[in-house]
A and B are shown apart, each in its own frame.
Chain A
Amino acid sequence: MRRGISALRWLVLLVAVVALNAPVIVTLVTSFKSDAEIAANPSLVIEAPTVSNYVRIFAMSDRFDILHFLTNSVVEAALGTVLAIALALPAAYGMIRFRVGLAWLFPPVVNLRAIPLIIFAIPIYLMYQAAGLLDTRFGLALILCLVNLPLVLVLLVNAVRDVPIELDEAARIDGAGPWTILLRVVLPLVRPMIASSTVLAFIYAWNEFLFGLMLTTRDAVPVTVGASFFFSASGGGVQWGVAAAVMMLSTLPPLLLGLFAYRHIGRSMTAGAIKG
């Protein structure tokens, strides 16, 4: 009886993992099949594995430059993440230690999580057009920073609050100013939370699509949007093998990050959802 239930648990887990990850599993399998095999055999078994699809992506860089899209995504997601943390950390410290803005700035930022950002999209598009920020990496990075601010701010405010104020006071007696205390005393102590929020913010930024679609056209296109270009560029006759390889390359960075840092991600997601 006991053993029966335990076996059933493993079975349910296995079914859940396969069902939830089905799109990635199917895409991964397809990316290692030849065109002929894809047409003849849609099953999950690969008869003659090949890496030719991945080779072909890089051979077509004149029409579809995946390295360009991947570079854009790396730069934009990294910049958006760093910006969010650079703005949120001093703000969190100012809010907790100097009690500035805790009442009027913290709640709106955190509740931004519940407001669909598309409502700001049209004026932002028009502002970007006027400021020359359309289709620039910096322009998109600013939006990615905005997308991540609610979560990052909640996590950092919680982390700063947990730092004993006695440490600040000791440093102050030694003659340190507030900015020195922030950088030398508080920053090292909240580093674990910064690491967790960096991972999660980078993944969210990498996966953003709507603003990438609206605000970029060529130079700054991130890979989520670039991958969809691949489909529209090939019209009716999509080369499914190459398409699958494109999707795998586009999704691999956040997927690997998530796999290795799942514990950090779990912790910060839970904190963000419950403590927020």
Chain B
Amino acid sequence: MARRKPAAAPTRLGGRRDGWLMIAPLTALLVVMLAVPLAVDLVYAVSRVTFETLRAPSVIGFGNFAVVLRDGQFWGAMLFSLRFAVLVTAAELLLALTLAIFLAPLLASIPWLMAPLLLPMMVAPALVGLMYRLVLHEFVGAVPYYFVLLTGDSPSFLGPDTAFWTLVTIETLQWTPFALLILYTAYQSIPTDVREAASLDGTGPLQMLRYVELPLMRPTILAVGFIRFIDSFRVFDNVYTLTGAGAGGDTTTISIYIYEAFFRRDDIGVAVAASMILLAIAFAMLTVVLRWSERRA
């Protein structure tokens, strides 16, 4: 993601003071909305705090973290989010890459065919979750209906054993378009002379894919994979509206764990400590990716 600083034009316009004035409003908003909350997070994470003592938290050290790390539910949520993110990212990349390459000739000659493929991204994930309550409903849902019609039986899609796979599938179906769009753009931007040179050397279509096209697309594939991994790791909306914290199976993601700790159990310390663990994970992943892309550049 972002590491490359945009090269600035040589500044011959003078007046750095005007520059400061121009970035001041943005900076002020970020300080109030992000820096202050982060500071509060850090203090509350090491304090005993309730809704009555918000202004006078008493520092207790790392007790909240100990509670979180001993909580089986927390580890359950971590594992859920991790498995979810790995499977969703892999499935999306595979599906999107296949579609992008196989459909490329069609999409290149009729560009607007991309529009219906991008539509799923325009729908709120929360609403997608609600829509699947209807789509998968055992009496009125279209999917169970067609399952029964074709196979004589239908699985219960939101039962304890199946809910996880249902959620993986709906997340994949909604965000494959994102990977498809970016990977298709990368595929189309491979210069024609690269392909021509390779085919003059007698490279067949499969070898072309394996030794020319995929290596050229590798940075894009990794960038898309990173974005989708991060986004699916913190998933909240569609899981929350479809299964809540766990209709049938336990479908508590790490974001839902934090939300429930705060809003349902009024456990500010635990919620904040879990938030800080999530921040540390996101930060670590970001650092690794930035290092890696710096080394490539």
Contacts and interface: CB of A to CB of B under 8 A. Distances in A.
Given A87-B25, A119-B276, A206-B124, 8 more contacts: A9-B102, A105-B27, A118-B259, A123-B38, A143-B33, A240-B134, A266-B118, A266-B185
Interface string B95-133: 000010011011000011111111111111111101111
Given A12-B99, A90-B23, A251-B127, A228 B241 contact: yes
Interface string B10-37: 1111011011111101110110011011
B106 A231 contact: no
A244 B132 CA distance: 11
Q: Which of A112, A124, A177 has the most C-beta atoms of chain B within 10 angstroms of its own C-beta?
A: A124
Interface in A224-268: 224-225, 227-228, 231, 238, 240, 243-244, 247, 250-251, 254-255, 257-259, 262-263, 265-266
Interface in A118-165: 118-127, 142-143, 145-146, 149, 153-154, 157-158, 161, 165
Contact of A110 (B2, B123, B182): B2
B279 A119 contact: yes
22 contacts: A12-B103, A13-B113, A17-B116, A21-B120, A26-B131, A26-B141, A29-B142, A38-B140, A87-B29, A97-B8, A106-B5, A114-B285, A116-B230, A118-B258, A123-B40, A123-B44, A169-B13, A179-B18, A206-B124, A209-B126, A238-B133, A269-B178
Contacts of B223: 273-274
Interface of B: 1-13, 15-16, 18-23, 25-27, 29-30, 33-34, 36-38, 40-41, 44, 54, 99, 102-103, 105-106, 111-128, 130-135, 137, 139-146, 170, 173-174, 176-178, 181-182, 185-186, 220, 223-224, 226-227, 230, 233-234, 236-237, 240-241, 255, 258-259, 262-263, 268, 271-272, 275-276, 278-279, 282-283, 285-286, 290
A113 B234 CA distance: 12
Contact of B115 (A43, A206, A262): A262
B117 A39 contact: no
B236 A210 contact: yes
- Interface size class of chain A, counting residues whose CB lies under 8 Å from the partner chain: 35 or more
Contact of A158 (B6, B10, B241): B6
B119 A24 contact: yes
Contact of B126 (A123, A142, A228, A262): A228
A119 B41 contact: yes
Contact of A165 (B12, B27, B29, B220): B12
B122 A258 contact: yes
B34 to A, nearest CB: 6
Interface in A159-217: 161, 165, 168-169, 172, 177-179, 182, 203, 206-210, 213-214
Contacts of A39: 139-140
B286 A114 contact: yes
Given A113-B1, A115-B283, A122-B275, A98 B15 contact: yes
Interface in A19-70: 19-24, 26-27, 29-30, 38-39, 42-44
B140 A240 contact: yes
B107 to A, nearest CB: 8
A97 B7 CA distance: 10
A1 interface: no
A94 B18 contact: yes
Interface of B is mostly: helix
A251 B2 CA distance: 31
Contacts of B230: 114, 116
A255 B8 contact: no
A-B pairs with lowest CB-CB distance, top 3 = A98-B19, A94-B22, A258-B122
Contact of B37 (A86, A123, A172, A263): A123
A122 B272 contact: yes
- Name the residue among B34, B106, B259, B290 with the largest chain A CB count within 10 angstroms: B34
A101 B278 contact: no
Contacts of B117: 13, 16-17, 20
Contacts of A113: 1-2, 227
B119 A101 contact: no
